[in-house]
């Protein structure tokens, strides 16, 4: 128990310290040198990825939030800690029907190549909207992570937008579905960027995955 409390305290301090945007990578040749552990964020367009990144970092504008789905089209890297300890990687949102097919294909190749070839990638976080639960496109990404042997947590977002009883039902279904995926970590996080619930626990899990 003490070890977990120590980890939580260190995670709190780490995320309270320096956090900076490093770069956007439209292709693998633009990736930063693989010198520190990386945690990647994946999720459907408008699942609240930017808001969650901002909440984790305790910043308002670290990641740009947009009402236009499909805005993030590159891998965006954020550096945490001085000296540098972790990089967070914001991956392009998926499942946006309005995007041109060739663009969707390009995103898919970029994400797939990154997942399969990045030695320093320690874990992915797959964000799921609490109001809707897992969609077929989420299962596609989970299959992609299974195939790449990248361990991942499912993270329920926007938990404040759902009644507690509905949330419990959706969470129970999600637990059952996650158990069918070999790379899915059994710990599922329920979060709200608005109220801050689940954010501290997720910070701790991120640090734990990198150590």
CATH number at residue 98: 3.40.50.300
Say if CB 180 and CB 66 are below 8 A apart.
Answer: no
3-state class (DSSP) for residue 197: coil
Token readout for 81 is 């800690």
The Cα 151–Cα 123 span in angstroms is 5
Give the domain range for residue 114.
Answer: 2-210
Total number of residues shown for the chain? 211
User: Does the predicted TM-score (pTM) go above 0.85?
Assistant: yes
Residue 72 CA, distance from chain mean position: 13
User: Is 14:80 a contact under the CB 8 Å cutoff?
Assistant: yes
**pLDDT the model gives residue 98:** 59
> Which class for 67: exposed (0-12), middle (13-18), buried (19 or more C-beta within 10 A)?
exposed
Domain count of the fold of the chain: 1
Helix ranges (DSSP H) in 101-163:
101-117, 136-148
pLDDT digits (tens, 9 = 90+) for 110-169: 888 898 889 999 999 999 999 999 999 899 889 999 999 999 999 999 999 999 999 999
End-to-end CA separation in angstroms for the chain? 17
The C-alpha atoms of residue 147 and residue 131 are separated, in whole angstroms, by 28
| Percent of the chain at pLDDT exceeding 90 | 68
Q: What is the pLDDT of residues 190-202, one digit of tens each?
A: 999 999 999 999 9
Distance CA 78, CA 43 (A): 17
- Mapped onto helix, strand or coil, the DSSP state of residue 184 is strand
Helix (H, G, I), strand (E, B) or coil at 83: coil
Q: Is 72's pLDDT higher than 60?
A: no
């Amino acid at each position: 128990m003490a070890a977990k409390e120590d980890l939580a305290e260190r995670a709190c301090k780490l995320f309270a310290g320096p956090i900076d945007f490093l770069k956007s990578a439209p292709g693998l040749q633009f990736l930063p040198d693989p010198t520190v552990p990386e945690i990647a964020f994946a999720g459907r367009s408008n699942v609240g990825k930017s808001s969650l990144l901002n909440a984790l970092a305790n910043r308002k504008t670290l990641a740009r939030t947009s009402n236009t789905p499909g805005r993030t089209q590159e891998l965006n890297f954020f550096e945490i800690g001085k000296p540098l300890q972790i990089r967070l990687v914001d991956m392009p949102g998926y499942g946006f029907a309005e995007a041109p097919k060739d663009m969707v294909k390009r995103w898919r190749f970029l994400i797939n190549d990154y997942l399969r070839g990045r030695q320093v990638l320690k874990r992915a976080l797959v964000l799921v909207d609490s109001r809707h639960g897992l969609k077929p496109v989420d299962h596609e990404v989970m299959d992609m992570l299974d195939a790449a042997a990248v361990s991942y947590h499912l993270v329920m977002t926007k938990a404040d937008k759902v009644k507690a009883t509905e949330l419990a039902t959706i969470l129970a279904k999600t637990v059952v579905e996650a158990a069918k995926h070999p790379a899915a970590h059994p710990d599922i996080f329920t979060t709200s960027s608005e109220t801050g619930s689940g954010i501290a626990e997720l910070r701790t899990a991120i640090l734990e995955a990198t150590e």
